[in-house]
Structure 1
């Protein structure tokens, strides 16, 4: 079975760019302190995100080696999670708080990732399903983790610099419904394709 890069990208992109702890806190930091002063916080998020991705890859590899029969189950669970995510994306609002928040630093960003279930589930889903056929030697693991971290950092930057504009753009009900419906359908497409890959 070949790696489906398009589905992998779709899932990772939608998961990292839709509102969550990372994007919402990055928006608040950017609004209140500016992009430059927010960089240490973003660096902490990036470090934690990269660490979670590497640990997820190692854990998925261990599962494949010790319990290969569990891989189809992980694919089913991953697909169900993506469908769950599609449901929440469909009803997502983009109302972001603009109130002042305490300045957050590197350690805050790092801790947020280590306790962020969205990132942990993202890592486990990606490496146990989408990238289950990937070479698990150190270089591919590190490179793939870097790519996902870069995607996450791009999402942080986008929300920090343009979060207010995004929220205003998606403030109208019609626009929000269209965007949410498209993103949800893409996630459903990804989940169905994963399930079809089992047969």
Structure 2
């Protein structure tokens, strides 16, 4: 059982933790607004990605595959939000970002709802989690226990990798108050976000 769990984690961390719309948005917001200001968004990403995991574990993806209109609409909305997020990050004003966040001007951008909505419609999440979930067995011969164990194990991965990406981005925040440094870095994050949408939609 332990060896099966370790194999699951060895596959899950690099696949689920690789760059994608959710992880890059966390890094971008962390770099632009800091860890604490982006914490609610992180909670939304974790909750939304866990919901994707539960959708896969309960077989609801089969229903979505049979009638994918709703999922497609959600994915288009998520892609539009990522483009908007990239624009806001790429054009962010430096030097007073913390004050803007504390004053509530950027709360919609870093809200729980925004993170949850992006995560639940993230094509990469469905692909990566689906591959790991279906490709590993922890408790052979006991489907219910196996499903529960995989959900618990992958929920832990979701929390760790997304928190790590936000922390990674936030580690740059103190350098970005200088426009000479912050402007090119923010534009780079914005371009990576837009590229992640294209790759995720193409792969999804």
Instruction: Pick from 154, 157, 175 the counterpart of residue 163 of structure 2.
Output: 157
- Shift in alpha-carbon separation, 1:7–1:140, aligned structure 2, 3 A: closer
* 1:115 lines up with 2:121 in the alignment: yes
Matches within 5 A, 1:5-154: 5-59=5-59, 99=90, 100=92, 103-131=109-137, 133=140, 135-137=142-144, 141-154=147-160
Q: Structure 1: which 5+ residue stretches go unaligned?
A: 63-97, 167-199
- Quick one: distance in 2 between partners of 1:134 and 1:127? 16
Query: What secondary structure is seen at the aligned counterpart in 2 of 1:128?
Result: helix
- Shift in alpha-carbon separation, 1:165–1:29, aligned structure 2, 3 A: closer
Give the C-alpha shift of residue 122 in structure 1.
2.1
Equivalent residue pairs, number: 130
Give the C-alpha shift of residue 140 in structure 1.
5.2
Query: What secondary structure is seen at the aligned counterpart in 1 of 2:34?
Result: helix
Give the C-alpha shift of residue 28 in structure 1.
1.0
- Quick one: distance in 1 between partners of 2:171 and 2:111? 25
- Quick one: distance in 2 between partners of 1:127 and 1:162? 26
Q: Which residue of structure 1 lines up, in the alignment, with residue 73 of structure 2?
A: none
Once the two structures are superposed, residues 52-103 of structure 1 have per-residue CA deviations (whole angstroms, 9 ceiling, x without a partner) of 112211219x9xxxxxxxxxxxxxxxxxxxxxxxxxxxxxxxxxxx733963
Once the two structures are superposed, residues 135-177 of structure 1 have per-residue CA deviations (whole angstroms, 9 ceiling, x without a partner) of 332x6534532332222222222222224779xxxxxxxxxxx
RMSD over aligned CA atoms reads 3.3
Aligned residues of 2:15 and 2:128 also touching (Cα < 8 A): yes
Query: What secondary structure is seen at the aligned counterpart in 2 of 1:51?
Result: helix
- Shift in alpha-carbon separation, 1:3–1:142, aligned structure 2, 3 A: same
